Chains A and B, each alone.
Chain A
Amino acid sequence: MQDSILEHIEKLLHSPALPEFPAEADKEDKLHAIHNYLVTLRTTLNAFATGDLQFPVDIHGVIAGRLKALQANLMHLTWQIQQVAAGDFTQRVDFMGEYAAAFNSMVTQLDNALTSLRQKEEELTKLTEALRVEIAEKEEALAVLRKKEAQFKHLAEHDALTGVLNRRSFYELACAEFKRAEEKGYPCSLAIIDIDFFKQINDTCGHLQGDDVLRHITKTIKSSLRHGGIIGRYGGDEFVVLLPGLDLKTTKKIVDRLRKQVAQAPFKTSTGTIHMTVSIGLAYVMPQHGLCQDTIFFKSVIKTADNALYAAKEAGRNCLVTLSHCAQQDNVTGKE
């Protein structure tokens, strides 16, 4: 009997399978108590071993007490790790020997690494900010440069006195427009406008007043070209106007209206009124296929308009003479 009891206790301690309670010892109450205690102990240890730290320890005595202490330590460690995970690096363990040293070392190193990372992040943020400021400054400088560049471009393309295109820019635009007119097959006219007796204005009123007159004329030309058109200063007191896409009748109507408006809009100065008239030579062009591609063609159009202007002056000034670029036939309009 004693042997079977001892053998049963030994199995409870060592055997993986739970042994049956020995039938012959069924009346031994103390053995029942020890059996139940050891079964509970096995179940509790198994729960702990598989990670169930919340498993209730329902037995008493020194072994159970140690087991509860171990359970409390493990649960507290779990809590401390959760605190570290939440960013509390002040957590330290002062129990569980080597584990405590390892835990504390890990948290310290984590803290140091994160502090270092934070410092680097701060440095990076400062650098980014500095870079942002530098980029903003450069963008500002670039904007100033672009503005200057636009101003220079405008100055390079426009006449400083009147603000209309200068001769070179007018040539470029006009050439492009003739090319487009040829491709699309629409007509294109070029007028040269000359202020009659402008030299006299300069001589009697002075060159500064002469400049004012040029600006005044420019304004009048611009306002009368309501249908659009490209205006340029050809030189001295001569202006050029390109009118694309209009038939001859309409073109003549517009250009002659311009002439009349100049005559009807004298320039008023502090000392008196300056009456002006203009002579206009108009070259009407129905572009020929292939001819408009080069500057020779354009120069020939200028020549036609020039001839027309010469004819207008010959006809007594303050009039419009139109020449078809191909036929070069005189057609004087508005002789007053």
Chain B
Amino acid sequence: MDTLPRKYAFNWDVIGTDVQEARPALGLYTSFEVYRLLQFTLRDVLESRYGTKAADDIFREAGTLAGKAFFERYCADATDIPSLVKTIQQEFRTLGIGIVRFEKTDTKTMTFQLTVDEDLDCSGLPDTSDHICVYDEGFIKGILDSFTGKDFTVQEVDCWCSGARTCRFKATLT
């Protein structure tokens, strides 16, 4: 571990406070191919250096960090599960992350099952029989952890890459 002070500790400011000013001509959005280019090249390097499991773990952890930041920025006003679900659905669609649909919300057992169509990470990828949306797993965990104050485990149980055309996630208390 490097002993130098941290350079990349995340907060929303590090990605620029005025994105409009930063890209007056090109605007807010870019191609999802570019997003995937970044993600998959990063996966490539991480996997090469640390192995597949470690690469997945790192991605999942980054997803959790992102999910928590997403919650604070977009979902902090949610007062209950239905309002949280609505906010997630709306913001995922607006931001082009994916089309979220819930299949189960059991507040007694705190078990949730949801699908993400047109997922930013994996829709259209070759059918490889792999579950690759580890970043999404972490992202959803980050949101649920932040909202409930509890520790969730989120698992992708069906993925576009396994032929599903939609990604399905199951969240349970750890």
Contacts and interface: CB of A to CB of B under 8 A. Distances in A.
B87 interface: no
A68 B166 contact: yes
B131 interface: no
Interface in A44-67: 57, 59-61, 64-66
B43 interface: no
A76 B103 contact: yes
A69 interface: yes
Interface stretch (B29-37, B58-66, B156-164): B156-164
Nearest to A75: B103
B150 interface: no
Interface residues of A, number: 19
Given A61-B127, A88-B82, A79 B165 contact: no
A76 B102 contact: yes
A72 B82 contact: no
A256 to B, nearest CB: 90
Contacts of B117: 69, 72
Contacts of A68: 158, 163-166
B166 A72 contact: yes
Given A60-B127, A88-B82, A76 B115 contact: yes
Given A60-B129, A88-B82, A72 B163 contact: no
A83 interface: yes
Interface in A175-226: none
A250 to B, nearest CB: 84
A289 to B, nearest CB: 85
A76 B100 CA distance: 10
B103 A72 contact: yes
A61 B104 contact: no
A64 B165 CA distance: 9
Given A72-B115, A76-B115, A90-B86, A60 B103 contact: no
A248 to B, nearest CB: 89
A59 B163 CA distance: 8
B115 A61 contact: no
Contact of A79 (B103, B158, B168): B103
Contacts of A57: 158, 164
Contacts of A86: 82
Given A65-B163, A68-B166, A79 B104 contact: yes
A66 B168 CA distance: 14
Nearest to B102: A79
A61 B163 contact: yes
A60 B104 contact: no
A78 B82 contact: no
A88 B81 CA distance: 12
B165 A83 contact: no
Given A60-B127, A60-B129, A76 B101 contact: yes
Interface of B: 82, 86, 101-105, 113, 115, 117, 127, 129, 158, 162-166, 168
Given A72-B101, A72-B103, A72-B164, 7 more contacts: A57-B164, A65-B127, A66-B165, A75-B113, A75-B115, A76-B102, A79-B101
Interface of A: 57, 59-61, 64-66, 68-69, 72-73, 75-76, 78-79, 83, 86, 88, 90
